[in-house]
Structure 1
Amino acid sequence: MNQFIKKTLFIVLISVGFVACFSKTSKNNKIETPIEKGKILEKVVCKKDLTTNYALYLPSTYDSTKKYPIIFAFDSHANGLTPVELFKAEAEKYGYIVIGSNNSKNGTPWPTTNAYYNSMFTDACERFSVDLNRVYTAGFSGGSRVASTIAIQNGGIAGVVGFSAGFPNLNQPITNKFDFMGVCGTADFNYNEMSQLDKNLENIQFNHFLLTFNGKHEWPPQEIIPDIFYWLEFSSIRNKTSVSNNKIINEFIGKCESEINKYQEKSNIFGEYKIYLKLIRFLSGVSNVDIYKTKFAELGKTNAVQNELKSIEADNLKEQTLQGKYMNAMNSNDTKWWNAEVARINSLIKQNINERECLIYKRVLSFLSISAYSYSNSALKSGQMGQAQHFVTIYALVDPENSESAYFQAIIYANKSENKNSIKSLEDALKLGFNDVNRLQSDSNFSKLSSMPEFNHLIEKMKIKK
């Protein structure tokens, strides 16, 4: 790695809170702009690959004479800023470098995605003092599969944090081992996939844990991020790439014991059972967990826990059956039927008579959203506008707050030369959060709209909103 900085210049830069990332001066003797510590940077361009850039957080305590763990994060829509902002506070606390890809997104071919990663990795190692024994990847949805694919195929990854999606389809055993933390909302359509992956990893002796939160298919709330960094810290201690830290261990145990006490006050045996499992998974190989294993085994024999585990299996089966039913209906049933069925599902969720059933139907709606997206996108790409309209209508019904259905509707109108309706749908998409100006401007479906004042006004509104 190139970290050769003249001593006097290094002292000056430290005093103003910057770290310079020189390898060598350029041919015309221009000195690189220093990277500010303790501040999120939205775009850092790779020095050797100008097509690749990333969001960055460098901890305020960064010192190039020391080695630092690093997380490479992948958002499904190439928004590298999202994970960097999410991880910032804990990265500052524990001293992690965080990089979020601004290029990798769903639909990008693996060789291209891998090239993005390699460029970021090379750039990071040249700019910063990286601990190569503590390189981690993380990602959301398709970005989670990217994170795990890098670990599985490339190797050299100590751990993966997979948000809302598991591993890619594999035709061979995993030879590059790494620790894995899955993170998933209880209303996420991939919840069952993540639960099954957690079981499978137990069978192949991975260090693993599934962390859940109340939410759908989305990046998690800030309050669960500390657990992710506990996991990374303990993973490093377990793998002997950092020294044991009793302060952090005791802090984590204290937090878990507090949660156990709350569950005991509510006579929630299954909640207590899950916290003991958490203690075992996090601290095995880090601290003595015998007492937790004993308590976990005792609770596992109770009727309350046994009945809950059986109910979970029954819920999984019911959800799979419903997914199959609705997938068949996607092509065969008209929009009138879908209107009535979605209204019935939403009514069940609103009544919330049965919390478990409520979560099942929330996950089913989330599953139908991604399915309708896929069907709509495929029909649009093949020019089958009639089919596309059918699927886009279903998409808007099952996920009315998603801007993508309005964007797809705009494409359909544009292809029918209904320009005013197309503009109206784009305005709807903007209200729902759509702000991808580059995508809109480069979309050939809207070429006939580009000369319209309304279209250009919409572009300007998006730029302001962004």
Structure 2
Amino acid sequence: MKIFSVKYLIILFFTIVLFTYCDKKIKYNADELLSINKISKNYCSNDSLNTYYEYIPTKYSIAKKWPVIFCFDPHGDGFSPLDSIKEIAEKFGFILIGSNTISNSTQNIDQTLSVLFDDVFKKYSIDNRRVFICGFSGGARIALSAAINLNKINGIIMCGAGITQPLPELNKLLNVYLVVGNQDFNYREVVNSNNFFNTSYNYHIEVFNGQHRWPPEHELHKAILWLLFNDMRKSFIEKDYDLINLFYNQSISNLKNYENDKQFVKAYNAAKNGFDFLKDLHNTKVFQKKMKKLIKEKAFKEEKNKISSIFYKENLLQDQYLNSYLTKDTAWWKNELKSIENIYNSEKDEEMRALYKRILSFLGIAGYSLTKQYIVNHDFITANKVILIYEIIEPDNPDCLFFKAILKYKSGNNKEAQELFKQAKNKGFNDINLTRQMMPNFN
């Protein structure tokens, strides 16, 4: 049974709906022309080290106000998220800003954010009602904090990270879109985030088939549709009934197909998807009725219980493996990883296969976090032990080489540190903030 993808929806929509603009043409100088309809690098006027990539829609002019999406990557990669969403930004007229300075290791984050926001708002004609933040992993946590603390944020897209504690009451409604891969080590955290929202937040949780990374383009496009539908609800923009009806029909089709395939939890999620996106824009009674019916079904309850038992097992495995980082040697870890691989390859159940992918993903982030923690605490002996295991788990991860460079640097072996750091950069390591923080005066 074919389930139509969101990617198909986006492509189909773009073939049906054409957006036209009636703005007056503005005369740009040569420098301004370079930044239109392409991703280009810029810097803050008050801080040249605070840099960002930007995408400005072709039809941009100061004659109207424009929505903006700020994007935060955990490693300060401002380019990648913009590259994924520039097409839909062009279609719907979003300005995109991708920070190269804000990352997991950024110090004085509030000041850095303030300088970035001030710079963008001074340079461009921004619609204050339509200011959004999108972040991945640690960048998502920064986005949430900024949205809560800065009154100017109207919506956020949190990728690969969830809510871990009750959120504060706000004096306005904040729209929150959470999206995570089913093989992401933060999967449980994200899908359980609904336990921490209150009436100050309008939220939606979306799951895709994938690991801990920026979501694929069509998932990010869907997240932006969520922002658009919320703006339609608030009458910030005109209701696009072609798009609304198309999304409604797509949701009905997915719901029926999941039911026919007896995938009842996915059917429930499809119904909730339709309701969350289309409430107050379309008649959603069919989705509400279906959700009420499904939660009473025996098969649905059995699926939910199965998922709960998998989560319980996952929690136990994480605790056991975290302890094993300090109690087991590299030979044990090599055998254990082979065992996990064999279980994964022989497992037929989709949910169980995703579980073991999440475990492997968790082992990687645990290696990163433990190594960094022991280096910061100057426990270099334990850090060296942990990094040997981390390297077995993720042999191609440039962070391993970076941490090895730090350990050589801390031991006074600057030459080897330089060589390892060069190898890390060649493999893709580019976190300038973390380098400055952990290897000051490194040359």
- Say if 1:80 and 1:102, in contact at 8 Å, map to a contact too: yes
The 1:160–1:437 alpha-carbon spacing in structure 2 relative to 1, beyond 3 Å, is closer
SS class of match (1:131): strand
- Is residue 102 from structure 1 mapped to residue 97 from structure 2 by the alignment? no
Q: 2:245 aligns with which of 244, 250, 253?
A: 250
Q: Is the 8 A contact 2:181 2:208 kept in 1?
A: yes
Kept in 2, the 8 Å contact 1:207–1:281? The answer is no
Q: Amino acid of the residue matched to residue 258 of structure 1?
A: S
Match of 2:371 in 1: 376
Q: Which residue matches 2:16?
A: none
In structure 2, C-alpha distance between the alignment counterparts of 1:244 and 1:12, rounded to whole Å: 28
Stretches of structure 2 that go unaligned for 5 or more consecutive residues are 1-23
Return the TM-score normalized by structure 1: 0.82
Q: Which moved more, 1:402-411 or 1:365-374?
A: 402-411
| Alpha-carbon shift at residue 360 of structure 1 (Å) | 1.4
What does the per-residue CA deviation read over 1:145-201, in whole Å, with 9 as the maximum and x for residues that have no partner?
A: 111111111222111100111347668545553010001111111111111113432
**Shift in Å, 1:320:** 1.2
The structural deviation recorded for 1:441 is 9.5
Q: Distance in 1 between matches of 2:237 and 2:344?
A: 47
Distance 1:359 1:426, change over 3 A: same
Matched to 1:343, the amino acid is: K
Aligned identity (percent) is 30
TM-superposed CA distance for 1:303, in Å, is 2.0
Give, in angstroms, the shift of residue 427 of structure 1.
6.6
The verdict on how the C-alpha distance between 1:358 and 1:157 changes in structure 2, with shifts beyond 3 A counting, is same
Which residue of structure 2 aligns with residue 115 of structure 1?
111
Of 296, 303, 308, 1:308 maps to 303
Runs of 4+ in structure 1 off by over 6 angstroms are 417-421, 437-443
Structure 2 residue aligned with 1:91: 89
Residue matched to 2:230: 235
Number of residues paired by the alignment? 420
The two structures have a TM-score, normalised by structure 2, of 0.85
Q: Quote the Cα distance in structure 2 between the aligned partners of 1:315 and 1:225.
A: 28
Structure 1, residues 53-78: CA drift from partner, whole Å, max 9, x if none?
21111111212211111111111111
**Corresponding residue of 1:354:** 349
* Highest RCO, 1 vs 2 (Cα 8 Å, sep ≥ 6): 2
Asked if 2 retains the 8 angstrom alpha-carbon contact of 1:75 and 1:140, the reply is yes
- Residue in 2 that maps onto 1:154: 150
* Bigger Rg over Cα: 1
- Match for residue 266 of structure 2 among 267, 271, 274: 271
After superposition, what is the alpha-carbon deviation per residue over 1:291-330, rounded to whole angstroms, capped at 9, x for unaligned? 2111221222222211111111111111111112222222
Alpha-carbon shift at residue 261 of structure 1 (Å): 4.4
Q: 1:345 to 1:176 in 2, by over 3 A?
A: farther
Match of 2:69 in 1: 71
In structure 2, distance between residues paired with 1:442 and 1:149: 22
1:296 and 1:120 map into 2 onto residues whose CA distance is 43
> How much has 1:421 moved relative to structure 2?
6.8
User: How far apart, CA to CA, are the structure 2 residues paired with 1:162 and 1:373?
Assistant: 22
Q: What pairs with 1:18-37 in structure 2 (closer than 5 Å)?
A: 18=28, 33=32, 36-37=35-36
- Other structure's SS at 1:207 match: strand
Assess, with a 3 A threshold, how the Cα gap between structure 1 residues 175 and 362 changes in structure 2: closer, same or farther.
Answer: farther
Q: 1:45 to 1:212 in 2, by over 3 A?
A: same
Query: CA 1:376–1:442 in structure 2 vs 1: closer, same or farther (change >3 Å)?
Result: closer
Indicate the SS of the match to 1:138.
strand
Q: 1:258-294, CA deviations, whole angstroms, 9 ceiling, x for partnerless residues?
A: 3234434534333222111100111122222112111
Alpha-carbon contact 2:232-2:238 (below 8 Å) kept = yes
Partner residue in 1 for 2:286: 291
> What displacement does 1:129 show?
1.5
CA–CA separation in structure 2 for the residues paired with 1:205 and 1:441 = 38
| TM-superposition CA deviations, 1:364-396 (whole Å, max 9, x none) | 222222121121112223443321111101211
Moved more, 371-380 or 416-425: 416-425
Deviates more, 1:265-274 or 1:150-159: 265-274
1:65-464 superposed matches below 5 A: 65-109=63-107, 112-167=108-163, 172-201=168-197, 204=199, 206-413=201-408, 425=420, 429=424, 432-434=427-429, 444=439
Structure 1 residue runs without a partner (length 5+): 1-9, 21-30, 451-466
Superposed CA RMSD in Å reads 2.9
Instruction: Identify if the C-alpha distance between structure 1 residues 89 and 198 changes in structure 2 by more than 3 Å, giving closer, same or farther.
Output: farther
Contact 1:44–1:56, Cα closer than 8 Å, also in 2: yes
Tell me, in whole angstroms, the C-alpha distance in 2 between the residues paired with 1:113 and 1:269.
Answer: 43
User: How much has 1:425 moved relative to structure 2?
Assistant: 4.9
